[in-house]
Structure formats: structure tokens, C-alpha cells
């Protein structure tokens, strides 16, 4: 006897079978997607490429753009348990050295930002059969991770010559560099910053006008000596003198307590210091200045190990990632801190509205390390330096404070007879690698965006007393200390 299954029942069985088959396919596709994303994330982490950049083509914001309300966790409220440094070695910072530290820099731009790309410089579009099969996010990821445009060096490339007699930048930095020489994207970033005036800068003086006569290097040195005074906060200044923690501030100026030194080294954090072999030369100086979170452990061959002074900005001080209060990196040598302030240098106004909580962190550090020499730069110094840059440029510069690199250079010129600055002007090893101790790539770290870095380099190149070959081979600039410069009453060098 044949038993026939009703058609309605057959339809239900068929529907359930199709649903189960689709569910299995969906589960397999989802598993494949998850595994692919995990692999992509791992590759991105290894190559320091933001995942959002790799997948969606979103340009990552880098350290040339400080934000008042950024993702940086600012220490607030009561005391926190101290971080125990596991390595207990001078020059070692806890945490992941490959994680980018937010130190003032622009948007993530690449080789194209140096000017209109030539046919050789244009990024190659993906081609071939696979390029059409792969989804767009994966193509973006592969381009970002393995494409030359994302992570290429500015030197040592076969298809692009940046240095040398016929290179885009010449053998050494061109002291007449201007924003007009930048690529369209980088130019726009710089112009946006030039239009901003967060700190109430009042432009005066002869600068910012094209065609104005240029001062010679010796004349620039005299101007810098006569019109810039390196000053730090002391306990007798208002409004600090009436505050309960005033005793934590030094009694004397930094220039009274330190130096004079015969020879000094200012060591930038530039990625081009890698494989330089300059460590012994740097350590041979009487005093060595380093910046922010630049560690030396593991890089002694290239950057040396001696640290006499460390200049840190308030953003580094406020970041939990840097462990400023507990890391051994900040417990040796002399600390000097700075924070952007109003152009007027009104200390009361600045104290009530700092960019980052420099005074809170200063007090906490002093309670934990009462014997550590620790100074805070007077904001008047920052803007005096800024004015010297603007006065000697043929176009308006960014109305933001100078970089830590240039501030530290001027600081050491007030303490030393001769100052050697390493890789502030890029050598033949020039690279998009921002810092030698991090795997993070950004052309703005060399060309500037937030800071008037491009113009600072122009000024340093004009004042350099060494040879172009020293810049090209070693990335070394030679500047005289202010004590050795003999100027007349008119600010002209006396011969």
C-alpha cells in the first residue's frame, strides 16, 4: 500500500531543508569573514596601519593635531596606584614601544605631499584578475599594508630620487622651503593651521611678506640672542607665589642652575636616526638633550644612552600611556616641561586654562620624586621664539607654538658653547618613519603641520655653521652657543 505524503508537508520539509542549508552557508561565510578580519587586524597591528584606514580608506589623525578633548585619558581626581616598572632600567618606558604616542604632529600624509607627483611617483593602481575579484575593502587593505605609497621611505627607493643633485629636495634641506612647494593635501593642512589663531597671536614685525631681504646666518644668531630669553617658572612669580604648592617650583632659573657646558647634543626623535651609528658621537658631548618619550634602551648604537635634560610637552605628561609619574624614563637627568599658552603670556590666564593639565601633573610628580630637578618653561619664551621665526619668513607661518625640537635647540644654545643638533634637518637616511622608537609613518613629522616646523628648519639651515656634507651624511647641524656670539649694540655680529 503506497502512502503519499501530502504536498503541504513536502513543502514544509523542503522549506526547512533550504533554511538549514542557507544557515550552514551563512555560518561558514561568517566564520570566513571573522577569520579574515582577525588576520587583517593582526597584519595591520604588525605594520602600524590603523584598521579603519586599511578597510575604509579613512586617513588616520596623527600627532601633529592636538585636541583639547582627545581620546587621551587625563589623570583626574585622587591619587592612583603607582605603575610598577617591570624592567627597572634607565631609559626604558613601560608599555608597547610600537604604539604611537600622541606627540603634536597633522593628518597622515605620504610621499604625494611633497609636491605634484611625477609619473614615477604616482601610486600604481591594482590590476589583474584578482584585483577585480577582491572586494574593495580588501583591495584597500592590501594597498595600505603593502603599497609603496603608504609606507615607503623617502630615500633608498629605486623609482623616486629625493636626494642627490637631481633629487626633489636636493642633497640637503632647502632653506627657502615654503608651503607652496608642498603637495595639495599637505598644503591645505598647513594653510588651515595658518588661518587658525587659538592662542590670540598678534602678528607684528617685518615677517610674512614676500620679497623681504634675508638676514645672514650670523645676523640671525645675534637676533635670536638679543630677543629671546630662556626663562622658567619660579616660586616668586604670580599667581604661583600665593598657591600652596609654590614651594615645589624651583627658586632659581634653569640657566642659573645648569651649565655652562662646553659641547652639547640635541637628539631629535627622527626615524632617520635608525642605522645611523651616531651613538658614541652623541654620548661624547658634555650634555645631551632628548625629547618627550624618546627611549634609548635598545637604540644605544644609533642615539647613545646619555640623557642630561629631557624636554617634555604637557600632552605627554597627561597621557596614561606614557606612565609619566612612574616610568624610569623620566626619573633620570633634568626634566623641563612646557604647555602652549596665550600669546600675551598672561600667567594667570594660562594657569586657569592650560591645553593639558601640566600643573596638576607637575605637582603629582614632585610629590613622588621630590629630588628630581624639574622646570617649567615660561610661555613668554615660546612666543619670543615664534616671533623670530615669523620675522624671518616671507610668508605667514602657523600661529601655534614652535616644536619641542626647536625650543630645545634654543634652550641648549643658552647653556652651551657649541650645540650639535642631530636629524632636525634630515640626512640621506630621510624616511617617513616618525620616531626611531616607533613604527609609525607620517611625512608631517618632517614637514610640519600644527607646528611651523618647515620654517624652523629653514631658520636652522641658515644659522648652521657646519657643512652641507655633515647634514647629508650625519644629519648634524652645528650652532654656536649664545655666550660665544659677539654682537654689536645694533644686533649685528662683531668680527
Residue range 7-23, pLDDT digits in tens: 666 666 677 777 888 88
Residue of 389, 343, 458, 446 lying closest to 63 (CA atoms): 446
Higher-confidence residue of 250 and 82: namely 250
Q: Is residue 31 part of a domain?
A: no
What does the alpha-carbon distance between residue 179 and residue 187 come to, in Å, rounded to a whole number? 6
CB 391 within 8 A of CB 379: no
Q: Please say if the pLDDT value at position 236 is more than 50.
A: yes
Q: Is the pLDDT of residue 67 over 70?
A: no
Is 276 strand, coil or helix?
Answer: coil
Residue 27 lies in a domain: no
> Is the CA virtual torsion 360, 361, 366, 369 positive or negative?
positive
pLDDT value, residue 232: 97
For the chain, what percent of residues have pLDDT higher than 90? Answer: 51
pLDDT for position 135 = 58
Is 246 within the bounds of a domain?
A: yes
pLDDT averaged over the chain?
77
Whether 318 shows a pLDDT value over 80: the answer reads: yes
Q: Which of 189-193, 224-228, 264-268, 476-480 has the lowest mean pLDDT?
A: 189-193
pLDDT band (50, 70, 90) for residue 294: very high
Within-domain flag for 22: no
Q: Is the pLDDT of residue 368 over 90?
A: yes
| 386 falls within a domain | yes
Backbone angles phi, psi at 377, to 5 degrees: -70, 135
Query: Is the pLDDT assigned to residue 177 strictly greater than 90?
Result: no
Distance set, CA 362 to CA 22, 93, 353 (Å): 62, 19, 15
Percent of the chain with pLDDT over 70: 69
- Confidence (pLDDT) at 291: 97
Candidates 255, 250, 251, 373; CA nearest to 307 is 373
Helix (H) or strand (E) holding 290: strand 287-291
CB of 151 closer than 8 Å to CB of 271: no
CATH number reported for the structural domain that contains residue 434 in this entry: 3.90.1480.20
Answer whether residue 78 shows pLDDT above 50. Answer: no
pLDDT digits (tens, 9 = 90+) for 323-347: 999 999 998 889 999 999 999 879 9
How many CB atoms within 10 Å of residue 59? 13
**In a domain? residue 449:** yes
Quick one: cell of 127? 590590476
The Cβ of residue 8 has, within 10 Å, a number of other Cβ atoms equal to: 8
What is the DSSP code (8-state) at residue 308? S
Structural domain includes residue 164 = no
Write the pLDDT tens digit of every residue in 29-40.
888 888 877 776
Overall number of domains in the chain: 1
| Sequence-separated (6 or more) residues with CB below 8 Å from residue 238 | 347, 348
pLDDT at 66: 42
State the average pLDDT over residues 33-51: 62
The yes-or-no verdict on residue 80 having pLDDT over 50 is: no
Q: What is the pLDDT of residue 27?
A: 86
Determine, yes or no, domain membership for 200: no
Separation CA 294–CA 327 (nearest Å): 12
State mean pLDDT over 344-351.
91
> What integer is the mean pLDDT of 64-77?
36
Closest-CA residue to 410 (of 396, 421, 401, 398): 421
> What residues have CB less than 8 Å from 309, skipping those under 6 apart?
258, 287, 288, 289, 290, 333, 334, 335, 336, 408, 411, 412
Range of the domain at 313: 229-480
pLDDT given at position 491 = 56
Span 202-224, average pLDDT: 84
Model pLDDT for residues 449-471, shown as the tens digit of each residue: 899 999 999 999 999 999 999 99
Amino acid at each position: 500500500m503506497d502512502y503519499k505524503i501530502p504536498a503541504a508537508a513536502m513543502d514544509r520539509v523542503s522549506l526547512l531543508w533550504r533554511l538549514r542549508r542557507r544557515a550552514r552557508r551563512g555560518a561558514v561565510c561568517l566564520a570566513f569573514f571573522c577569520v579574515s578580519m582577525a588576520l587583517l587586524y593582526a597584519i595591520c597591528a604588525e605594520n602600524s596601519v590603523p584598521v579603519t584606514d586599511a578597510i575604509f580608506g579613512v586617513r588616520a589623525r596623527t600627532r601633529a593635531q592636538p585636541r583639547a578633548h582627545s581620546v587621551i585619558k587625563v589623570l583626574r581626581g585622587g591619587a592612583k596606584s603607582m605603575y610598577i616598572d617591570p624592567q627597572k632600567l634607565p631609559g626604558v618606558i613601560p608599555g608597547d614601544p610600537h604604539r604611537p604616542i600622541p606627540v603634536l604632529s597633522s593628518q597622515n600624509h605620504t610621499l604625494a605631499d611633497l609636491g605634484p607627483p611625477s609619473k614615477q611617483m604616482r601610486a600604481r593602481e591594482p590590476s589583474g584578475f584578482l584585483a577585480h575579484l577582491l572586494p574593495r575593502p580588501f583591495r584597500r587593505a592590501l594597498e595600505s599594508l603593502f603599497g609603496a605609497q603608504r609606507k615607503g621611505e623617502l630615500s633608498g627607493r629605486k623609482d623616486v630620487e629625493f636626494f642627490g643633485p637631481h633629487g626633489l629636495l636636493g642633497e640637503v634641506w632647502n632653506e627657502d622651503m615654503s608651503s607652496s612647494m608642498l603637495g595639495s593635501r599637505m598644503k591645505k593642512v598647513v594653510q588651515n593651521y595658518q588661518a587658525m589663531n587659538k592662542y590670540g597671536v598678534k602678528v607684528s614685525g617685518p615677517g610674512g611678506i614676500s620679497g623681504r631681504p634675508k638676514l645672514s646666518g650670523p645676523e640671525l644668531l645675534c637676533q635670536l640672542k638679543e630677543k629671546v630669553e630662556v626663562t622658567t617658572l619660579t616660586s616668586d612669580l604670580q599667581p604661583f607665589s600665593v598657591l600652596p604648592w609654590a614651594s615645589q617650583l624651583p627658586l632659581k632659573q634653569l640657566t642659573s642652575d645648569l651649565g655652562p657646558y662646553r659641547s652639547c647634543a640635541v637628539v631629535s626623535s627622527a626615524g632617520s636616526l635608525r642605522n645611523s651609528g651616531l651613538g658614541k658621537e652623541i654620548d661624547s658631548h658634555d650634555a645631551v638633550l632628548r625629547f618627550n618619550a624618546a627611549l634609548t634602551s635598545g637604540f644605544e648604537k644609533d642615539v647613545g644612552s646619555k640623557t642630561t635634560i629631557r624636554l617634555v610637552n604637557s600632552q605627554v605628561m597627561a597621557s596614561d600611556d606614557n606612565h609619566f609619574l612612574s616610568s624610569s624614563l623620566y626619573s633620570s637627568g633634568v626634566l623641563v616641561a612646557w604647555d602652549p599658552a596665550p600669546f600675551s603670556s598672561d600667567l594667570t590666564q594660562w594657569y586657569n586654562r592650560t591645553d593639558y593639565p601640566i600643573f596638576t601633573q607637575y605637582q603629582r610628580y614632585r610629590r613622588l620624586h621630590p629630588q628630581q630637578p624639574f622646570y617649567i618653561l615660561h610661555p613668554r619664551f615660546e612666543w619670543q621664539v615664534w616671533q623670530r621665526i615669523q620675522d624671518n619668513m616671507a610668508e605667514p607661518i602657523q600661529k601655534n607654538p614652535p616644536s619641542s625640537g626647536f625650543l630645545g635647540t634654543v634652550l641648549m644654545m643658552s647653556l652651551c658653547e657649541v650645540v650639535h643638533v642631530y636629524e632636525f634637518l634630515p640626512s640621506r637616511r630621510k624616511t617617513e618613519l616618525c620616531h626611531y622608537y616607533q613604527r609609525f609613518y607620517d611625512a608631517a613629522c618632517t614637514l610640519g603641520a600644527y607646528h611651523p616646523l618647515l620654517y624652523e628648519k629653514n631658520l636652522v639651515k641658515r644659522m648652521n655653521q657646519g657643512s652641507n656634507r655633515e647634514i647629508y651624511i650625519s644629519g648634524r647641524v652645528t650652532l654656536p652657543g649664545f655666550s660665544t656670539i659677539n654682537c654689536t649694540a645694533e644686533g649685528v655680529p662683531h668680527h
